[in-house]
Amino acid sequence: MAENTPVVEVGHPPKALVGILNRVLSFLVRTPLRGPVSRGVLVVRFTGRRSGRRYEVFVSPHLIDGGLTVLTNARWRLNFRGGRPAEWLYQGRTTSGRGILVEEPQAVGELYHERIRELGVKMAGRRTPVKVNVQRVPTVEELAELARTQHLSAVRFS
């Protein structure tokens, strides 16, 4: 690792790739293939807090401490500050409930740490919005600092 390379940083796929995948997934969840597709993808539907517009986002689901969670720093997450109604399609079932944004850096660091520990460093880079640049699980403190500086957060659904 180069001297100035951080232990962990935010990492996202190219926007063009995300746009293509979102269009493909949007089509597939409306077909008989939605069952197999929805096993590895969480489809979250909600109303924008300011626009009133309906949104549908495709994200990686994470089961952390028995709860369905999305690890993200995407702007759509802000719609869940203070808790907001949502509907989600997961493993072929549609559920209605609430999404709650977790922003407190220590709590976010703990959630990311738990998930990276479960997934392993290499897979975490594919399933979470972080890139780990060392051959170990980042500490909670390192992840909390990334949450503070790069707005990492989590949305918990219940």
Model confidence pLDDT, tens digit, residues 65-113? 889 999 999 999 999 999 999 999 888 889 999 999 999 999 999 999 9
What is the model's pLDDT at position 140?
98
What confidence tier does 1 reach under pLDDT thresholds 50, 70, 90? low
> What is the SS3 assignment for 43?
strand
How far is C-alpha 18 from the geometric centre of its chain's CA atoms? 14
100: DSSP letter: E
Domains and their CATH numbers in the chain: 8-157 (2.30.110.10)
Q: CB burial class (10 A; 0-12, 13-18, 19+) of residue 7? A: middle
Listed range (38-52, 92-106, 126-140, 142-156) with the worst mean pLDDT:
38-52
> What's the whole-number mean pLDDT along residues 17-24?
60
Q: Are 130 and 70 a contacting pair, CB within 8 Å? A: no
Using CA atoms, how far residue 86 sits from 48, 50, 78, in Å, is 10, 15, 13
Mean pLDDT over residues 103-124, rounded? Answer: 96
Residues 113-127: what's their mean pLDDT? 92
**pLDDT tier at 25 (50, 70, 90 boundaries)?**
low
Buried (b) or exposed (e) across 73-105, using 16+ Cβ within 10 A?
beeebebbeeebebbbbbeeeeeeeebbbbbeb
* pLDDT tier at 10, thresholds 50, 70, 90: confident
What is the token pair recorded at 102? 């977790």
Q: Does the pLDDT value for residue 21 go beyond 80?
A: no
On the question of pLDDT at 3 being above 80, the answer is no
Residue 142 has pLDDT above 80, yes or no: yes
The answer to whether residue 15 scores a pLDDT higher than 80 is no
Run of H or E including 140: helix 140-150
